[in-house]
């Protein structure tokens, strides 16, 4: 297909003339056509106005019609798969298998939310019926449910061009809630964004919904992104990216006359604990598992295991195989030059730390923007005295920290900020005798992993992909799983409302047949 290189403003295309830049191939730094054009301020204002108008209709759209939209988006993305297979590897360096796999995950996520809203019970309907004869004060009739917030700004992520970007989890859950979405495209994969954006635009039209339900804008985060967050009609923000970027959006949103929630997934090092008995029994297998988790996607997963806690007497059981595999590994292209440069800076910091030892490093190829896997090691005393060692190094690098007692292990966990995941490996007896570790893990993370590795994030109802700050801006939320929809809703109560005026979800007859909490 021929890419146009302009924003998608409802049912129309942008007409500006200021360049937003060209995507480039990270393997060779060659720029890719077309040259993308930034949305003008007028176009941005129009996109938000369309979204505001669309909200008045979309917030009342039935679950069945929202489900139809989400399924149609999935079908349209699947219909565009060959275009994605052609374009996305050029922009990201990702292989065809990853493109197809991520497209499948994205479409599966859309269909999961379609099933959720079609069922209807997600609105958490609660009914407390009136008791007019109650003494000393009659009880009023109150009924509540979750309702959509309003237009949502979504910032596409660099590391998942499909699953966390234009039609990713933020967009899918916001649409499921009944909120129009304006996506700020990521400059690293502008063409991929356009292909997916057109699939969504067509789905909105095919489903007969207002054009303002979806727009996609190009431009810099400092101009287009900030203008979106500051606009009074935007009621929430979804973001996946760096701590600096997420924090800037949080500050912008908090400074508005009407502050709004920012759901930002930002930074995590995802500690892994390997207890002594299992280290001795399965050291090689654990080393292989760590290597696979560490290097998956060139280490560019937000759930990458960047920190490994191992008892000092057991460390050689794990590092032997891990070091062997890392030393035998080769480099691979990262998603873009900026990520690669940041990875290099993180490696330099660890290499120059006086009490951190380089255990292993792979070999570097000739292509551009190459990431070489690395393993470093230090002691608990050094780690506890060095706050900088808790900073994320985004890429295929990990830091092994040795400890000598359970008290030291508890101190290590206590020194960490919020995390997306925390993992522990142990025998059944070890896990049973280390319940305190599980309790510590629960306080600092969104997902506890037992005898597994954190990189895979299943798309399912119970998944939590979140965690306390700074892993995310709001530790009560998740960006994966059906609970993600609640980020873009608020509770509304109807008191003594005539049945005819109630939403169907709260009517006496329960015409939708949903599950309700009734008293």
**Which residues have a catalytic role annotated?**
265, 302
Alpha-carbon distance 463 to 480, whole Å? 6
Alpha-carbon distance 466 to 473, whole Å? 9
Alpha-carbon distance 305 to 83, whole Å? 33
Alpha-carbon distance 492 to 193, whole Å? 35
Alpha-carbon distance 457 to 150, whole Å? 28
Q: CA-based angle 195:200:206, to the nearest 5?
A: 125
Nearest to 159 by CA among 329, 306, 3, 299: 299
Alpha-carbon distance 265 to 367, whole Å? 30
Using only C-alpha atoms, the chain has a radius of gyration, in whole angstroms, of: 24
**Contact at 8 Å (CB) between 151 and 182?**
yes
**Contact at 8 Å (CB) between 240 and 205?**
no
173 CB-contact burial (10 Å; exposed 0-12 / middle 13-18 / buried 19+): buried
E strand spans, 283-364: 307-311, 332-333, 357-361
């Amino acid at each position: 297909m021929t890419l146009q290189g302009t924003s998608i403003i409802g049912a129309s295309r942008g007409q500006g003339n200021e360049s937003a830049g060209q995507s480039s191939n990270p393997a060779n730094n060659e720029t890719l056509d077309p040259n993308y054009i930034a949305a003008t301020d007028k176009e941005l204002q129009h996109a938000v106005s369309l979204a505001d108008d669309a909200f008045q209709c979309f917030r009342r759209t039935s679950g069945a019609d929202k489900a139809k939209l989400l399924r149609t988006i999935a079908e349209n993305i699947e219909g565009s798969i060959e275009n994605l297979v052609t374009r996305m590897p050029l922009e990201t360096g990702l292989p065809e298998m990853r493109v197809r796999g991520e497209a499948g995950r994205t479409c599966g996520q859309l269909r999961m939310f379609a099933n959720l809203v079609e069922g209807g019970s997600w609105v958490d309907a609660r009914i407390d019926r009136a008791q007019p004869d109650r003494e000393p004060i009659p009880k009023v009739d109150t009924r509540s449910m979750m309702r959509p917030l309003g237009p949502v700004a979504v910032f596409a992520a660099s590391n998942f061009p499909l699953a966390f970007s234009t039609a990713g989890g933020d967009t899918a859950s916001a649409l499921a809630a009944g909120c129009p979405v304006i996506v700020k495209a990521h400059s690293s994969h502008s063409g991929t964004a356009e292909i997916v954006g057109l699939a969504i635009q067509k789905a909105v039209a095919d489903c007969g919904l207002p054009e303002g339900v979806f727009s996609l804008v190009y431009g810099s985060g400092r101009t287009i992104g900030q203008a979106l967050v500051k606009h009074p009609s935007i009621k929430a923000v979804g973001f996946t990216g760096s701590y600096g970027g997420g924090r800037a959006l949080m500050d912008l949103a908090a400074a508005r006359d009407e502050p709004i929630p920012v759901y930002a997934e930002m930074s995590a090092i995802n500690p892994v604990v390997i207890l002594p008995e299992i280290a001795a029994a399965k050291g090689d297998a654990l080393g292989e598992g760590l290597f696979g988790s560490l290097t998956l996607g060139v280490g560019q997963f937000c759930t990458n295991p960047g920190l490994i806690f191992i008892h000092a007497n057991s460390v050689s059981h794990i590092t032997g195989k891990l070091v062997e595999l890392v030393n035998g590994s080769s480099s691979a292209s990262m998603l873009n030059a900026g990520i690669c440069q940041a990875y290099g800076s993180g490696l330099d910091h660890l290499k120059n730390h006086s009490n951190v030892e380089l255990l292993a490093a792979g070999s570097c190829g000739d292509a551009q923007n190459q990431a070489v896997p690395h393993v470093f090691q230090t002691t608990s005393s050094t780690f506890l005295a060095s706050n900088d060692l808790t900073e994320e190094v985004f890429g295929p690098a990990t830091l092994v920290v040795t400890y000598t007692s359970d008290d030291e292990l508890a101190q290590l966990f206590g020194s960490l900020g919020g995390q997306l995941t925390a993992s522990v490996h142990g025998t059944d007896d070890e896990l049973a005798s280390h319940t305190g570790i599980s309790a510590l893990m629960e306080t600092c993370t969104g997902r506890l992993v037992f005898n597994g590795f954190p990189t895979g994030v299943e798309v399912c109802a119970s998944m939590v992909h979140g965690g306390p700050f700074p892993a995310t801006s709001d530790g009560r939320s998740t960006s994966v799983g059906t609970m993600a929809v609640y980020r873009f809703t608020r509770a509304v109560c109807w008191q003594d409302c005539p049945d005819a005026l109630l939403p169907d979800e709260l009517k006496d007859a329960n015409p939708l047949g949903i599950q309700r909490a009734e008293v």
